[in-house]
Every structure is written in structure tokens, then in C-alpha cells.
Amino acid sequence: MPVSLRIPPDKEEMIRKAAERAGMSKTAYIIEAIDEKLGISESREQTVREFAGWMSHEEAEELRHSLDVFGEIHEGDWP
């Protein structure tokens, strides 16, 4: 479901810079922030660390790589 937000220019610039530092698009950065606020997601690092206790090194590395897709949401990808 598309959502339109009116963000003041100063906050939009802060989001742009933070997303750039994180290597993410603004959309991905905002979605991650919303998910964190709602408590419905964890960072990739947290997820891998939780599973790593019972996984082999190879399995943990495979999980880490499979989660990379979540940081690759691009603004033009949404319908």
C-alpha cells in the first residue's frame, strides 16, 4: 500500500545523509526505522548473532548473505 509522507526539508536531508552513510536508499532507511519502532524486525547483525549459537560458521555466513537483500530496497522498486 503506497503511503505519502510530508517531511520537512531539514528532516528529509537528515534522512538522506543517514541513509547514504548506511549504504541504503531513503525508502529502505525509513522502512527499517518504522519496523524498528514497531518492534517487528531486528538488524541483520542481531539476527545472525542469535542464530549463530547453534549454527556452524558456514551456515551463519550463508544466513548473513541471504539477509543482505533487506538492505537493497531501492526507491524505484515500489509500484
Cα separation, 16 vs 12, whole angstroms = 6
Contact 31, 74 (CB under 8 A): no
Q: What angle do CA 34, 40, 44 make, to 5 degrees?
A: 90
Q: Would you write out the chain's pLDDT as a tens digit for each of its 79 residues?
A: 678 889 999 999 999 999 999 888 898 889 888 888 887 766 666 766 676 677 777 887 887 777 777 666 555 555 5
